[in-house]
A and B are shown apart, each in its own frame.
Chain A
Amino acid sequence: MFTRRDILRVSCGSLGAAGLAARFTRFGLMSAMAQSAPDYRALVCIFLFGGNDGNNLIVPLSQAGYDAYSKARSDLALAGSTLLPVEMKSGGAYGLHPKLSEVQQLFTQDRVAALANVGTLVAPLTRAQYRAQSSPVPANLFSHSDQQLQWQTSIPQGASTTGWGGRVADVIERMGLNSPSAFPAFVSVAGNAALGSGGRTQPVIFTPGGPLGLQGFNSTAASQARLLAAQETLAFDSGVSLVQAASGVVARGVDNAALLAKAMAGAQPLKTVFPKTSLGAQVQQVARIIQVRDDLGIRRQIFFCSLGGFDTHSAQLGDQQALFGQLSPAMGALYDATQELGVARSVVTFTESDFGRTLQANTNHGTDHAWGSHHLILGDAVKGGDLYGAFPDPTLGGPDDVDNRGRWIPTTALDQYGATLASWFGVGDADLHTVFPNLKNFSPAKLTFLG
């Protein structure tokens, strides 16, 4: 909460940009500490809302693999000649979607890895178990809202009030890794996200182009008095829970905007050129916040970005092409910015999405909701140029299919994916099982694409 003393120190046009002298002192201290211990790590989630069709993200190019893909996909099969080839270190030829040229380049530089057929699971599951309903499965499979939440909470059995990113932030807070900075570890540049809700920690949201604090205040007595009254009103206990919750949001907004505005005050513009898209603006915002990490006195950060429109039930080829045309340059620019900032080894970017889509097309040149899908992980800490996990058997009605349309039962659990990222981030093995309660059901607990 911002305090009366903070309020009274406001002296320029925006409260967020104003000096909060009590905090300045601590800032100097924190910057010094950060410099003496330049241990910095950040995770950047890019959530592909709507359920990205992973089947056309990465395609097997072996003769048998491509033929099976092409036969099952009918009019949605991408021509082999248009795919961007990548050779896996562990063997195997694959092709990336033609619009992923930046990703392909980073892949061939061993900076990007792919994780095959990962998804929400309670425990490992076979087709026979699924058909017989003899083993637990995630609640409300194939539903956008539920699967979006479960990818963010990693609690597939039902509702959860915390996200796995928020629980990681809780651990970081308990370990004191960001201490004594008051700036939250979790920052969303794409609105409120369940991923960031912790038990003890709460995320902060900085929408690109959004205001850094309250506007319209100056140093006159009248203005200061109005600000004080606003603060008193915020602190007043109305006895109505939703009012109190809203007051908490405003107070955190004012406080953290002030911290960020101060930290950014002297920052030079980045040389990296970002795409003029929504996602481009988001990753630019992420890079600008990473840039001032020492001024924020922070050593562990999780960022949330998103791109929507992946629910391609019709006319999929053109729609997904346009979306990948935004995703790939944005990932490329974010990587370039981490190079410019000297933190390419310290920042790992990864994708999430509601679910994968049916391998079999529908009659509208689209695909329908499915389950396991393929995802990308980017950064110099990534053991890139390789495919992790198991690529699904493309047979419709085959061993990896829920029914007969190619809805893949995941062979790698989100818990394993998340635990690998969280472990690299600094969460110890014991805490991994608190953050991912179902992790005990999967072996190995951690994958090898990091560390």
Chain B
Amino acid sequence: MGLRRLSCILLLALGISSAQSVTPNAARRFLEQASWGPTADSVAHVQQVGFDQWLEEQFAELPSAAPDVQPGTSTNLRPLQEAFFINALGGADQLRQRVAFALSEVWVVSGVKVGRPEAFAPYLRILANGAFGNYYDLMRDITLNPAMGHYLDMVNNDKPDPKRGRSANENYARELMQLFTVGEALLNQDGTLQRDAAGLTIPVYTQDTVTALARALTGWTYPPQPGQPSHTHNPAYWQGPMVAMPSNHDTQPKTLLGLTLAADRSPEEDLDFALWDIFSHPNVGPFVGRQLIQHLVMSNPSPGYVGRVSAAFHDNGSGVRGDLKAVIKAILLDPEARAEDDSGTPNAAGGHLREPALFITSLLRGLHASVTTGNNLAGFASQMGQNLYYAPSVFNYFPPAYAVAGTELNGPEFQIYSTSTAMVRANFVNTLAFGSLGAGVAVDLSPLVALARTAPDLVDLLGAAFLHGALPGPMRDSILAAMQKATSDKLRAQTALYLVGSSTLYQVQR
């Protein structure tokens, strides 16, 4: 160890690090997966410190501030939407934001029902703070978050009332298992489905499990407002975790996935046992790991890739299960994620369609745009089918297993890529290149215009900035041919930007 450490110090002293092999295009491709899009500065920095060190730096970055909107000042999430784009464009905590956003598309709370910023912001802060924490803590924090409690009805969900013929609300119990943790069918650790002798998939739980878990999670209400006493059903309040109300808790025994909860336990005990029971299920690693790969790297990871990420979920190397830092490292440093960094041969099943939020931020970061309060980027994303923080349901804007027509592949984001929204995306790039994206968004194309006289240089710059250098020769030729017909440097720059930004090669991050 001493020798190794010494050699590291020597290498650092000489200005040489193990990162010297990171090419600019490899850094760009890595940053397409790990940030809201590469910039000249971030590329240079990754080249300087290398992937591992960059990840350590990012793990240490504190969350960008989610704005504290005074209760009652906004009846919609617009202030949070504006802040999302401001932070994505300028925040130093790029990886944390990407992971937190991915988690927000797994643990969905939607503004359709939770539409006030003062209710929604605490939920976003849990995701930002928990992005590099342990998955169990995230499960517990979100489960007790009042916004989630309201969204999926765990708040004020009381024990069954046989006299009046009412059962416990099954909403949160079902989606906690189906969407947030274990999924519906038993998985192998590599994410493939287990099958029984007849070739059928094997359910993780039954309706009886849902009913029992619903009862285990009864007896919680909103936190009391400051200075107010707690009641059996507190009025809506969004700061801090929900509080237990034992008189509303079902104390009968419950049979869960692996555990049977004994009678007469408190709401807290039942909650802890139930969450631990779920967290311990072998499905969680492959179920969550595969989705995080899909959000960051590719829609169709190989079983081997999923298996390596599941292993990191199960054990971070120090015997800890659920360490998200280990999971994220495993995702981003996996050979399958890095395979095409400097290679000309594309993986036919690789890549994932950029969802609208990522498409917009990547384009703007690549152009070093400045985004401030009052921006309407959320309006553009909404037209593209992604009204930020307003997923149509707890099933997010798109499902992990969305089948892409004409292929054997999954492409979650293709759910919202239709013949209509595909036009909207191209037209957005048209507006970006030839018009204005409105107040709060400043794009300076003059660096591109300055290069436009030497058209090949400009095309290669755009190919590097937006396609990590993987601009195919025929596409380059087509763009150059179009630029020849343009009558000014400005028009040449606009033409090239439109053709790169609107291309399907750019829509799909790969």
Contact = CB atoms under 8 A, between A and B. Distances in A.
A138 to B, nearest CB: 12
Interface stretch (B135-143, B160-168, B304-312): B160-168
Contacts of A225: 481-482, 484-486, 495
A165 to B, nearest CB: 14
A402 B174 CA distance: 17
Contacts of B399: 145
Given A313-B153, A362-B170, A226 B418 contact: no
A221 B482 CA distance: 9
22 contacts: A74-B164, A143-B178, A144-B393, A192-B418, A197-B405, A207-B418, A212-B423, A214-B430, A216-B430, A222-B482, A225-B481, A225-B495, A229-B479, A232-B474, A240-B350, A240-B351, A242-B353, A242-B411, A248-B405, A257-B419, A257-B423, A363-B161
Interface stretch (B87-95, B369-377, B501-509): B501-509
A413 B83 CA distance: 49
B362 interface: no
Interface in A392-432: 396, 402-403, 405
B290 to A, nearest CB: 16
B346 A245 contact: no
A368 B395 contact: no
A364 B507 contact: no
B504 A207 contact: no
A249 B422 contact: yes
A308 interface: yes
B417 A207 contact: no
Contacts of B504: 233-234, 238, 243, 246-247, 250
Nearest to B479: A229
A362 B207 contact: no
Interface in A37-66: 49-50
Interface stretch (A78-86, A198-206, A335-343): A198-206
B472 A236 contact: yes
Contacts of B491: 222
Contacts of A210: 383, 420-421, 423-424
Contact of B157 (A257, A308, A363): A363
Nearest to B428: A215
A75 B158 CA distance: 15
A148 to B, nearest CB: 9
A221 B481 CA distance: 12
Nearest to A368: B170
A326 interface: no
Interface in B408-438: 409, 411, 414-424, 426-427, 430-431, 434
B166 A363 contact: yes
A8 interface: no
Contacts of B505: 233, 236, 238, 243
Interface of B: 112, 152-153, 156-161, 164-171, 174, 178, 184, 201, 203, 207, 210, 218, 299, 346-353, 383, 385, 392-393, 395, 399, 401, 403-407, 409, 411, 414-424, 426-427, 430-431, 434, 472, 474-475, 478-479, 481-482, 484-487, 491, 495, 498-499, 502-505, 507-508, 510
B393 A50 contact: yes
Contacts of A451: none
A240 B346 contact: yes
Nearest to A257: B423
A372 to B, nearest CB: 15
Contacts of B474: 232, 236
Given A240-B347, A256-B419, A403-B207, A360 B407 contact: no
Given A158-B201, A191-B385, A245-B414, A238 B346 contact: yes
B348 A241 contact: yes
Contacts of B383: 210
B198 to A, nearest CB: 10
Contacts of A256: 419
B311 to A, nearest CB: 27
Contact of A242 (B164, B352, B401, B495): B352
Contacts of B426: 214, 230, 250
Interface residues on A, range: 35 or more
A230 B499 contact: yes
B278 to A, nearest CB: 17
Given A141-B207, A145-B395, A226-B495, 14 more contacts: A191-B420, A192-B416, A210-B420, A211-B420, A222-B482, A228-B481, A230-B426, A242-B407, A242-B411, A245-B405, A245-B409, A362-B157, A363-B167, A366-B169
B507 A240 contact: no
A370 to B, nearest CB: 10
Interface of A: 16, 49-50, 71-72, 74-75, 139-146, 158-159, 161, 188, 191-192, 197, 202, 204-207, 210-216, 221-222, 224-226, 228-230, 232-234, 236, 238-243, 245-250, 252-254, 256-257, 308-309, 311, 313-314, 358, 360-364, 366, 368-369, 396, 402-403, 405
Contacts of A366: 153, 169, 171
A71 to B, nearest CB: 8
Contacts of B164: 74-75
Nearest to B385: A191
A391 B282 CA distance: 43
Contacts of B434: 216
Contacts of B178: 143
A191 to B, nearest CB: 6
A230 B502 contact: yes
Contacts of A72: 165
Contacts of A221: 485
A239 B417 CA distance: 20
Contact of A143 (B184, B349, B475): B184
B292 to A, nearest CB: 18
Contact of A368 (B169, B352, B475, B507): B169
B169 A240 contact: no
A214 B403 contact: no
A385 to B, nearest CB: 34
Contact of B401 (A16, A159, A250, A364): A159
A234 to B, nearest CB: 7
A144 B184 CA distance: 12
A254 B418 CA distance: 11
B192 to A, nearest CB: 14
A241 B407 contact: yes
A233 B478 contact: yes
A205 B393 contact: no
A369 to B, nearest CB: 7
A421 B385 CA distance: 30
Contact of A239 (B184, B299, B348, B503): B348
A183 to B, nearest CB: 12
Contact of B415 (A192, A229, A233, A246): A192
B495 A245 contact: no
A214 B165 contact: no
Contacts of A358: 167
A238 B161 contact: no
Given A214-B426, A229-B481, A241-B407, A207 B420 contact: yes
B157 A140 contact: no
Contacts of B421: 191, 205, 207, 210
A246 B203 CA distance: 34
A16 B422 CA distance: 13
A225 B426 CA distance: 16
A12 to B, nearest CB: 15
Contacts of A248: 405-406
B203 A242 contact: no
B351 A243 contact: yes
A204 B131 CA distance: 38
Contacts of B346: 238-240
B478 A232 contact: yes
A22 B417 CA distance: 28
A82 to B, nearest CB: 21
Given A253-B419, A368-B170, A243 B159 contact: no
B185 to A, nearest CB: 8
A36 to B, nearest CB: 31
